[in-house]
Each structure stands twice: as C-alpha cells, then as structure tokens.
Structure 1
Amino acid sequence: MKNLMYMFVALLMVFVSCEDDDSFDPGPLSNLAVTSQVSDDGSGIVTFKPTATGAKSYTYDFGDGTTGESLTGYISKTYSTTGENTYTVTVTVIGFDGSTLTETLQVTVDVPAMNSDLVNLITDGSSKTWFLAAAQPGHLGLGPAREGIDGDWWYPKWYSAQAFEKCGSEISDCFCDDELTFTVNSSGEVTYVLDNKGQTFFNVGHKAVVGGTADEDYCYDFDTSGEKEVTFSAVEGNVPEAETTGMQMEFSDGGFMSYYVGSSTYEILSLSEDLLYVRTYDSMNPDLAWYIRFTAAPSTGGEEESLETIYTNLVWSDEFDTDGAPDPANWTFDLGAGGWGNGEAQEYTDSPENVIVEDGVLKITARGTGSGGGVQYYYDDVTLVAAGGSTSVVQDFEGAAPVFTDFGGAATAVIENPDASGENTSVTVAESTKNNGAEVWAGSFFDVDAALDLSTYTSMEIKTWSPAVGVVVRLKLENQANAQEFYEVDATTSVVESWETLSFDLSAAPAFTYDRVVLFFDFGESPTGGAAYTSARIKSENLFEFTYGRVEIRAKLPSAGGTWPALWALGANFDEVGWPACGEIDIMEHVGNNSNTISSALHYPGNFGGTAVVGATSVPTATTEFHNYTVEWTPDSIKFVVDGEMVHNSLVNSDTTPFNSDFFLIMNIAMGGTLGGAIDPAFTEDTLEVDYVRVYQ
C-alpha cells in the first residue's frame, strides 16, 4: 500500500505558505564553487552541484548547445553523443543583489553505443519474451512529457499519470495477449518481434492507419510480423538519474511495443529480470507521454517453483481465537480519512462495525455509510487580468474538460451550471466536492498547455459559487516540473449560494514557470459528517517489529468492485526517513475490480509508486476460499509466495536497500483510489477475513 501518512504530513508542509521574513539578508554574492558527478553506467548523466553565498538562482550552458536553470543549483544533464567527449560547462550564479559570478569546468562523458547490462536483461543473454503487466496498476498510463524541460521535473507516475486498466474490456483486451520477443546474436545485435495474435490496440488518434471507425481506442486487425532491428542510445534531454536508466530503444521499420501511438522510440525507465517499464511519446502529440509496464515470460520449466524456507521457528503470531476487538498487545489502529495520497474514499475507524474478531477469524469490513456526503462548490472562467484591464482566459470549461487530479478526499468534474444566473450564465462549470471526512487540504488541480504569463498579467479572477460566506478559497500556481516552485494566495467568499468573482493578487509571485492551477475550497476545514465509506487499518507498530523472517497470512478477500485489501509491512523508521526511503513490502494486494488476480510489490528509492517492483498471479478462488499469502525476507532476497508456490523473486537484497532493519505489519481495506478503481454504486459492505498471522525466523 502506498497510502502513507508521512507523505502527507510533508505534503501539508508544502501546501501551507510561509510568511515572508523581512529580516532576511543573504549578504553579497560570493564563494561560487561547482562540483560534478558523471554517472558510470553509460547513461551520459552528469549531476552538477554548485554552492555560493547569497545565491538566488543558477543558469547553465552545458557546452553541447543546450542550457538549463535551477533555483537550488542542483541539476542533472544527460549527454547523448556516443563515444568519449569533453564538454566545457559554464555555470552562472545570480545573487539577490542582482550581481553574477561565473565558473567554468570541463566534464568528460563516455556514452557507449549500446548498454550491455540493459541488453542482457532485455534478452536474457539470448532470447526473452515479455508480456503486458496486466495485473499491475498503471500497466498503461498517460503522464507528463519531459521534452525541453530543464530542472527537477519529476513526479511519480502513480501521482501524475492517469492509469487505464484495459484487459477487462472487449474493445481493448487484445492489448493483453501480445508477446514481445527480444533476441541478441553473437555479434551483439538485437532484434525484436511483436506477436500481436492478429490484433493491435490502437490509440484513437491513429485509427486512420488501419481505416478505423471507432471513436475511442480500439483493437484492429494489424500485421506486426517481421523482425525489427533494435538500436540503443542515450536519452536526449534532462532526465533525473533516479527516474530512468538514461537509455532508449528505437525499432526499425515502424516497430512498436504493443500499444500503437505511432512511435518507434521507447525510453527505458526501469528494468529488472521481471519488469520492463518504458515511456514513449505520441507521434501526433509529443506532449503526451505514454507509460507501459511489461513482465518477463512465465517459467517454462513445468511445475511452479516451491518455496524452500530457511525460517521454521515461530516467533510471533495471532490466531484470532478471542472474540471482540483485536488483541491490543498485537495491534493498534490508523484512524482518519483522505486515504493518505491515493485518492481513496474511506475513513478508517476502530469501530466493531469495521474491525472485530469473531469465531476465530479477524474481520475487517468496509461499509458504505449511505451518506455520500460532502459540500459542493462551483467555479468557472479562470482568467488572468492585467493591470490595465486586459484579460486572458485560462479555462472556461466550455470545451473539452481538463484532466483533474484530486487529492485529500476532494472530487472535481465539469457539470451543467446548477445556477445559471447573476454573474455566471455559462452552460458548464467545474464542480468541486469536498467529501465528508476529507483532509483540510483536500483539493484538485489541472494542467495548462502553456505557462501562465505573469509578466503581463498581475492577478487572476475566478467565478465561484459557495454555500456559505467566509469560505477560504486558496489558489496555488505550480510548476509541473518542480513542485518546489509555487505561489499561493487566498480569497474569501462574501455571498451565499450565488455566483461572485474572486480576485487573486499575483503581483508578488516569484518568476517561476507556472503551468498548473491548484484550487482548495474551504482550505483549513474538513466537512462535518461521516465519510461515504468506512473501513479499518490495523498495525503492529511499536508492538511487534522485526528484521527478516517468513510472514504467513491466511486470508479470504472481499470481492466487491472498488475494494482494495492489502496485507503488508512498512519500515519502522518511516517517521524518521520518510517513504519510500523506509521501504515497503506488499505481501498481498487485491482489487475487487480484478478479483481473480493478486499482486505483491516492493517500494524503495528508485522503485516506488508507479515504478515499484511488482509481481502477480491468478488465484480464481481468492474471494471465496482462504489462501496462504507469504513473504520470505532474508538478508539476501525477498520472495513472494501463494499457497507455497512462488509468485516472484523480486529482490536481491543488499546493504543498499532499506530491507535490512525493522518493519511492522499492516492489514486494511481501502476503497477506490489509484488501485481500487471505481466503486460499485450498489456497494454496501464487504469483508477481509484473516484466519491467522504467523512470523517465523
């Protein structure tokens, strides 16, 4: 599970603006020094780390015809020219007093034409077949582009990519049958064959290629036979080293990887023995970045591999033999609403209605409260205004609706204007619902195609409709590429159940790139009343924490659409180092909308959220029968097992991973969210049943 309270304590700190300190005096600009670190993996990535007294910002001339800017000075640059090349880099620091200092340094970068480690993983040294990671969340995602962007732009895909689960629909299930085979010959040349079983899943924008007529993405007959050549090269542009391998693949003769968007070039974001995660750009719209996850071919060795455990001494267990509340010597509770980051709909309680031991079984029950409550606010005509009165409309919600990203328990959509009178007679407007039990900072954002021009326009006006007077509306303008670059300003409603125009002064906004509009209605307050759904999350934190061992949990899972049960473990130092640095071990995750599949995952720096190391298996009776879900965690490896059979061997453990210190156990049901998906409108309740939890060492 990714819903970590720690993340949102940190997020709240970002959302809350700090007051200016009039006594701040950085002093004169001086002492510029610059260090550089060249990646040794052949990716061409160089990280620059300057320091200076009195510095306000830094600019870079990278010596290859490209430039960059950074407020902190820290910046990563990917050099793509193959071979060993030396670049003269010029770093200029700008002080708060307007003065500048310049430092010049040389960096030598060796970019091989082909990365042998990547090739070996992709081809397994000879030939290897990959399949769509259909059981994993976000196996197809639409997310941020990076072209032409300098600086630390990255958002985890689980936060910013819009995930689409495609394998359960007739119009797209051909996507899940593809076989992608890479082969390397004795000369090191790589070839590629896509076996699409006769049909390819086409993006609607490219249907003309096959004479398609559907008004949505669709499976069409399409011939992908024939061997394609694969070339590897360094990725062009500035991509943080932790978020990519720095290499890309290009296929000859129009070759592509499973989903047709007219592209033959794929950046390798992450690669391991059983996971290939790539990004490509739509040939008709390079602002659209598509993310696809593939898993390695299943074992062809006959019977599945069985776990041969090294841990046989039972050191801790709960057999749930005593009716009533969970044993307080073993379990405590997480309480609260908002889902801690995954857009979930439930509020966690310690009520017996949500968590109880009965007849030798722990029962965690998610319930629909029937309230579905919350407070609705409406807004429209987001408009920039210049000092002289000229205006520029940012969004009026009359055309194609923007893509909203909600957080903290808010929900946003474009609807028909519920009060087309007074100041606003528009046909359609945006509705922002702050659900009962939502976080005080709940809100949503939408992105704009071009940065807002705050050199011309000094304020923003937004038409709003509120059910109360005195509601604080917080506007936050943000840089999609760098969440640390933002500006916040508040306005307050003055009328009840009527449209009014609120004005937000932007004249003091720093000179950042602003291409994201974030709105918080009734900032600082949470609507009274219960959440639409309640559930429970219990944990052994501070009661039982352990390093290494075999954890076995026997459970029967809920089946209702929108349920998201999980049995997992979290690094006990999460409140000190944060997530994902603390590490997370997902022993079992399941979603009612895909009830025949269970998954397991590891989250840690470089592999978390949408890039977690994930494996899955089919368990057709997961919701009707009890099954044993097991993790074997040793100093050398982490293995996931169902009913004694290996699901995947996900990790070679080492002293560089966070899986070498204490963890504690967690069990819960979330509702909806990034993995749970759409909640069945008829949902009333469903239960996760746990027969026992046992830890062996």
Structure 2
Amino acid sequence: MQARMRALSRGGGAAVVAAALLVPLGATATAAAAEGTTTVITDFEGGAPSGFFSYGSAGFGVVDVAAGTADAKPGQEGPTKVLSYGWDVTAGGSFGGVGETFTATRDVSAYDGVTFWMNGSGNGTALQFELFDGGANPDVSERFDTTIVDDVAGWRQVTLPWSAFQRATDFQPDGAPNDGFGKAAVWGYALPAVNGANTVRIDDIAVYSGIEVPPAVSFASSTASLIEGDTGSIEVRLDRALETPVTVALEATDGTAAAGDDYVDPSTTIEFAAGQTSRTVDLETVADDVEEANETLVLTLADAAGATVGSPSSMTVTIIDDDGEVVGPPSGRTLVVDDHEAPLVRGDAGGVPVGWFNAEDPNSSVAFERTDAAPAPVPGAPAGNHVLQADYRVTSFGVVVRNFTNEAADAWTTQDWSTYEGIGFWMYGNGSGTDLFLDLLDNRNPGSTVDDAERFVVSFKDDWRGWKFLTFDFADFSRKNIGNNAPNDGLTLTEMHGYAFGSLRTAAPQTFRFDDVLLYGEAEPPALSVGFDRAGYEVTEGDTATGVIRLNRVADEDVTVSWESLAIEARTATEDLSATADRDFTPGSGTVTIPAGERQVAIELPTLQDGKHEVDETFVVRLSDPVGAEFGFVRTATVSIQDDDEIDPTLVDDFETTPWLFDTTGKSVLTTREIEAGSGAGYPGQDSYEYVADFAHKGPATLSRDFAGGQDWSDADGLSFWVNGTGKQTKVTVGLKDDPAPDGGPDTWELAWSDEFDGPAGAPANPENWTYETGGWGWGNDELQYYTDSTDNAALDGNGNLVITAREIDPATTDLECWYGPCEYTSARLITEQKQEFQYGRIESRVKVPEGSGIWPAVWSLGTDFREVGWPQTGEIDVMEFVGRLPNEIFGTIHGPGYSGGQSYGGIYDFGAPVPGDWHEFAVEWTPEEIVWSVDGIVYHQADPADVAPNEWVFDHPFSLLTNVAIGGNFGGALGDDLEFPQSLTVDYVRVYQAPDTAERFTADVTVRGTGWQQVTVPFDAFKREKKQPAGAPNDGLTLTDVQGYSLTFGGSGQVSVDRVTVE
C-alpha cells in the first residue's frame, strides 16, 4: 500500500481527490440494526485470523478483556478477546493500518453495511474502513472506503451503511477494476490510519441487514492444492452460528484426476451442529511413480438443509505431481551472484543496511543464517556446501534482503545484469502452499543516500517438496510500488542494488532454503540512449546547478548531444512559477561529448541572485541532436531555483507583477516597467532589476488597492512609498480603509464581483480576471491532459458562457510534452491568482458538466499563499467536483493539513439521475465559523473547525478561484468506452457575494516636490477621519488592526512612478 499523500492536487488522495466522508463517533456512527441479520466476519476469539496483516507505522495484538472491568464492552457477560490496533502517522509521508484478506471472496450484497465495536480514546484522530471489492484477487481488488473520527472515549458500535463508502482515491492497486461497488465478491477489509497517533480496540467486525438474510454455507476457499500422496483438510463454513443444525452434501467430480487412481472420493454429507460454523473433510490423494502433468478435481456443495449454498460453492483441487526429474540450472551462459559459501556480511552505508538483513512488519518475525545442514544436499553440490536458510513467521510482510556491498560493508554497490535474460536459484520446498516473492532492487535516484531503489517483483508458490531450481525471465517481473519515491524508468538492470526473498503471509512458521542465485541467458544489450540522470534539479538562488547528461551504459564510441537551458511558461513538473532568463538564471547552450568508455558528462547551469523574496521558480534544460545514441527516458529536466531571501514583513506592494489587484479612477493609465540595477533610473539603493508602477493621469486620479483580507498594521508608525515625480509640486492624498463593521452574515451579503462571460464567440476569458495555466506535468494527480492557453480549449461562446473543452489530439503530430510522453489530450485550467482574491463570502457558479468516465471538471479555490506554503497547508475549497464515472453525484470538499487527498473532509450530493446535460447552480457560503455547500439551493454538506480537529483549520485567509476540466488522474479514474471527445464544461457565471464595504475612511495629504526618486512617509497620526463614510462604518478611530486597503490620489496632470509601498 502506498503512502497516502498528494502533491498539489485537484481534489479528491491521495492522492486528487475524492471526498471521503468523516463519520464522528458521537454523531452518525452509533448503533447497529437491532433487528434483521448481523453476520460476524471477525470476532478475534481465536486470535488474529490467518489473513490478518499490518503495514507501515501500525501494529496490532489480540488482548483478553474480562467482564466487569473498565475495558469491558457494554453488556459483556464473560471473557472475550478484542483487537488492539495502534498507529503513529504523525511524521510527514508516514502511513499505516491493519486489515484482513479472505481466502475466498464473500458475497455481502444482501446486507446493508458494516458494523463493528470500537473502543476509542476520543483524541480526534481518524481512521478509515476500507473494503476490497472485485478483481481477480485481493492484490488487484478495487478499494472503497469511508473515514471515521475517534471523537468519543470508550466503546461505541460503529455502523457504516454502503452509502457511506466511496471509491478510494488515495490508493488503488495497479490492475484494479473501476466498475463500482459490487459487494458480491469482497476479498477483505483494512483499517488505514488517517492522521495522528492513537490506539483503539476493535471487535466483532460484521455485516448487517435490516431484514432477515438466509444463512449460507460455502467453501473457505475456491482453490486448493495437494502434493501427490498427501491428505489435506477441506474447510466448509457456515456464515453464522445458528440454533439449529445445518447439513450440506459435498460431492467430488473428476477433472483430469480420477477417483480411485489419483484420490479417494471424499463425497459425504457434512453436518453443522447448533453453534458450529466450521467443518473439515479430509481429501486423500494417491501417490504413484509416474511422471505426469498436475491433475485436478472439483468439489461441489449442494442440497443444503437449514441454509442456502453460498459462494464459493465449488472448489478446484490441484494434485501436484512430484515424480519428475529434478532439473538444475540452465545450460549455457550463467553467472553466479551468490553461492553462500562466504559468510553473510552485514553492514551499514550511511544508515542504509547493506549485505544481508531482514525486514518485517511489527507482528512478524524473520531470521536467516548460512548453514551446511540442509535437509538434503543440493543436487550436484559438493560435500560441505552451504545454503541460505530463512525462517518466516509472517502476518503482513517479511523479507530477507541482499543489498550488494563492498568488502568493508560500508557502501551500497551495484551490478550490471543488463546482458542476461533472467535470474534463477535453488530452493528447498516444503509443500506448504505459501505464496512467496522475489524482489529485484534496481536503480536509485542519482545522489540518493536513502533506500529509494525501484522494486520489481515476481511471485511463486511453495507447492513442491525437496530441491527445485526456479528460473524467472526478467520480462516476467512487474514494478512494485512501496512508496519510497523510487525512479520510474523501467527495469533497466544496469545498476542492480540487490534482491530479496519474501512472503506476505505464512499460515504457519516456515523454513526455506535457497542456494546458487545466478543469472542466465544472453540478452541483447539495451539500445544506447542518452538523457539526464534525473527529471529535476534543485539549486539555491545564486548558485550554479550541475546537470548530468548520462548514457544508459558505457559506449564503444563517442556520443555527442546538444543542450539548451531556457525559460518556458508551461508547468513541466512542479507548481513553481517560471523563471526569467537573465533575471533568475543565465541561459546557456552547447554540445557535449561523452567519450568512449565513459558514461556521463556534467554541464553548468548558473542562476542569479536578485535579493528579493519570491516563490521558487523553474527553468528547463533540453537535449537535442544526439549522435551515436538515441534519446533516453529523461530528455528534458527542470531546474527549480530555491529562493533564499528573507521575507520583508514591512512590504505591502512592490509592483513586481502586473498590477491587476489595483483599481484606478479618473483619466488614468496604470502600467509597469522594468528598471535595470545601476542604470541611474532606479530609486536610491536599488541593487537588482526592479519593476515600478507608472501612473499617467489627466487631472486628479486615484490608484487604490483593496485587500481580500484585513492586514494588521498596528505595530507600525506610518505608510511609506517611493515616488518619482513630474518636477511639479504635486499634492498626494493617501487614503486608508480601516476596521469594517462586523460581518452580518449571508443574509446581508451583496454582489462583490462576478464574471458573466459576456463577449464575442471565440474570445478568451477576461484577462483582468483569469490566467490560463499551462503544462502537462500531471498536476499532482497523474492527469493526462496538457493545459493550454488556446481558445480551442477555453473561450467564450457568444451566449454569455465560458466553455472549457477537453480534446483528444494525435501524439504522433503534437509538440506538446506530458509527463508520460507526447501528449494525447488538451484542456484548460483558469485561475484568478493575483487578479481576483476573496476571503469569506458566497462563491456561486452555474455550470453544465461534461460526461464520460475519466472526465473531471471542477470549480474550486486555493489559498493565495499556496506557492509559499504548499498544498495542503494553503487550504482548498472545492465548490463543485464531478467525475464522469459517477454520473449521478457531485462532490463538495475541503483539503488542509491532515485532511487532504483521500482523507479530505467532504460531502456528496446524489441527484438520482445523471448530472450532465442540465444546468445546476453550485455554491459555498464561507464564514470564519463554517463552510456550507449547496446545489440548486439544497444544502448538502457543511464543515467547521471541529470537524477537522485536532488538525489546523486553514480557511481564514484570502483564496483565488479556479475552474478546469481534467482527464483521468487519481480521482478522475480510467478513461471509459463511454468517453467521447470533445467534452466541455460550460460555465454561465462565477459570482462572489460578500459583506458590504463598511470600512472607516481616513486620509492624509502630502506634497511631492521636484524630480527624481524620493521616499515619502506619512505618519499614521497624520490621518484624519473623512466626513463622507459608507453606511454602517464604525467611528472608533484609526485602529490599524484590520486595514482593508489604501489609495494614492495624485493632483494635477502628468506621470508619476511608484514603488515599494511599506509600513514603517
């Protein structure tokens, strides 16, 4: 299970983002149905079931609870056993949980939901209940979950109806279906931790129904295997204890195995006495000396009395032949990697174990040693041969790892396996049926000091006895994500870091022996390719980054390639803003040669120090025109310039961006221009490139800015600004808007801003309101589209609407680059950042959504500080999200620290009919106390600080608005056959209603004389209350604790330049 994290995401988690329902124990998660049927899945009376597991930063135990004690459950009459489950996921990126996988699927479709007892601490942390639905096995089943808040101390019975479950967005296994919550084939469940640290107790996990559900009898598993000559126990289960007996007939049918020759017919009638839920029948197989293929028979349940026959009603049994000749290693080219004749060294490379070591979950144990006392000699091995012996008792995972190292065992070294076809080894089997795996540890990120090796895995079963040589072609391995931020560039085999033998579960303790791990075969060397050694570099502002251009293997001849560093507007891999050439970095280009026999060459990428605090900025470096090699995996790399300048707490405005947030009155024009440091045109002390505001006016005119959220200037003495005058004496009136009356709430709000999208067809969205964000980096969710600034993807329709259109394009002809290669889709994403910002109010939009599985439109908002503090710390409010794979539902959600991605706090409105095709009005009403979501005037969700406690409520600062249409991604899901392009989100309007402007007005006059730059400071005690005030304005003096904005009114005519407005 991967880490439950998300980068800056589009909602939904994770990973982004489905709206997980948080169920407080003190509210809706209360009591199970008093009548009807409750069928217990796990009661822990026999300890943890065989399929129980833990993972990550979580562990469990089964503890005894005596009746009459403080720990006893309500109504408990005798001793019982319960699950004790603890977790600590407070560290960034940590995750964990417990759960159970079933040996066969369970059909729970006749029930209404899940119920269980939970003894919480009431500390406000949260956990999920997650079900594994459908798919070929538990590892590829679709996940559905809901989230529960532990807000009540003591025992409570939690009831979770199926309607509370949503498709998980923080994790879905590769290959999982996307076909809805069927409930007819459930493979298990998990209790993932969401946040914090806690220990809870769980008991009597069950499914419930409000009506009577007939009892069912079934096999415990749908398959079994026995080695020829063995006798095995076949388990048949009754899904709940009854007061009356149940009988069922077990019948055997020949497949390729024949009764009498290959097995003894076990046909019988099985009786469950009152209170019994499990019975076993012995199946005896017949040994012979004939080498033959494995054979099968089918067991079937029928003619049940007192119950129905449930699923699985049949079991296929495979009889494994053990008469074949033992075949040793492949002939031809081989290379022994480990023969275990040398001692098994253990070491440490900067905190990473090297040599040999074991790893396991907290409830498992793994040990290993080198021994010459195997149960039987390895075929062909000399006397005294040593083997690796590994002991496993595993509930969730356990591995014996071989990390390659040097003689001193203090470095993690690599081997090149790229010219071999596969890997093999001897293993002494026990016939236990244990599922095992072999992990390969491939390359790591360049310069890494941690274990971020990319894993690839192949699985096999212990279904033989004695020594057997196993071979696995490298093509048989699949990528394994363990959440360690590994590279994702395929099984390169050129820098192998090691391998591991492991299991996810052992029904009983097992001891396995391995020997002679070797490589075999002749593989064509991979095509010689050249690329960067990583997808992105980071460099401190003013320093020089080193880019490494690297071959995938050493070449026999020189390889040349050209490179160029440049600025681009499109986002390529991060949320950084674009760096500016010759301001933030020095652009460069050239051609480099990697000499024969060498593998890499370095290039220098200098950046520039500007002395200004700003968000991180990115430029790219691209390769072109390779000679002697083809392009490798990373042809374009990003360079993120990490700003190291301190924030100036006194700075109000410095005009480094287009002044969209300013308003002007009178006959005036406001523009900005750049002044070079040292040019003589800058203000005194200017030591870097600087943008200034030029304000040309005919007659008196005002330059003003209202703040989206109030600012506290009470520790300052005055307002200061630099001005370059006209040479004439100019009167400047400085205005302040201070301390508005208390917000009267939604009933008093009035229209503060709107975009009605009026304009000619084909025109872009109003640039005074919206910026088109561009790029194809996946946007934190592995989305498939490239966002463009083309009116092909977002334009007015001439009928008062904005239409955002997602289109399919030909990757063979496009020059657009996405994270997965040439782009296949385009769309648009618009944001009001630095143009329109809001804190509190009603955000309202009327839209018509597109359709088809994989489409993901949204109207939403992000904190204006998201480039400074990152997501989710900035906060996200989703006014509306829709995913085409759930056509009847819309989502309203908040994301913040500790409740983001799949753990977000959200609500769902089910229309009962498809949403596309009709207009709907979506709104949030946002106050300091709460956020309330509605659709077409119907309130369906609300959130307040207590709902996310103890996590931080991050919705008391300004936000920007966004609207977009994503394709695919973590929440959008796989593209379905019903998705036809183009698809459009049509937006009729976006409106914001807020409290009327009641800020108290104050002014002070100053006179600017002469020419040239001069700093003007106006003491706050010089400001006087204006006679003309808006209705409702306070009259309490200039408090400066909640400043709403300022203005500069220039008399006469001319042009003045303004820069660096500060409080002093």
TM-score tier, shorter chain, comes to 0.3 to 0.5
Give TM-score, length-normalised by structure 2: 0.29
Give TM-score, length-normalised by structure 1: 0.42
More helix by share: 1
Structure possessing the higher radius of gyration over alpha carbons = 2
